[in-house]
Amino acid sequence: MIQSKRIDPLLKRAQEHEDAVARDLAERQNVLDTHLSRLDELRRYAEEYANAQMAATSPAQLLNRRAFLDRLDSAVEQQQQTVNGNLEKVEAERARLILASRDKAVLEQLAASYRAQEKVVTDRRDQREMDDIGARRARLAQTEDQDDGEQGGRS
């Protein structure tokens, strides 16, 4: 079997692996985008609530408002940690995709090298065959010329 044909299944697997890693990266990116959106919403809500002018009529209402703002800040912090964790996952998937792409590129280069070598061998074989055909024709023509020369001398 030709070397370039033997590498084709490896190339196919490398492409499938790269595609799978790219899908994983896209999924991780979507999750990150969702968490970023939630973080932005939480921050906006916390800011709006903190800036809202409320006529607090009692110390209890002020305490409730402060406690709610503290819970909002805690939720923002927790969401930020979730975003950071997902960002790390996205970066890890991006690194995996780069490695998978490099692996596939190496196999593609190897296959191209094999194909180039095979082409050189094929071209040389074709040239040898053409040279052989040319040499046979030349010998045949030379033989015919000699036969014609001998027949001309006999007549």
Could you read off the pLDDT tens digit of each residue along the chain, which spans 155 residues?
588 888 999 999 999 999 999 999 999 999 999 999 999 999 999 998 888 777 666 888 888 888 999 999 999 999 999 999 999 999 999 999 999 999 999 999 999 999 999 999 999 999 999 999 999 998 988 888 787 767 765 55
d(CA 138, CA 118) in angstroms, rounded, equals 30
Domain count of the chain?
1
CB-based burial label for 90 (10 Å; 0-12, 13-18, 19+): buried
Residue 124 forms part of a structural domain: no
State the residue range of the domain holding 12. 1-103
Determine the residue type at 107. L
Residue 61 forms part of a structural domain: yes
What is the pLDDT, as a whole number, of residue 151? 72
Residue 45 forms part of a structural domain: yes
pTM for the model stands at 0.71
What is the pLDDT, as a whole number, of residue 152? 61
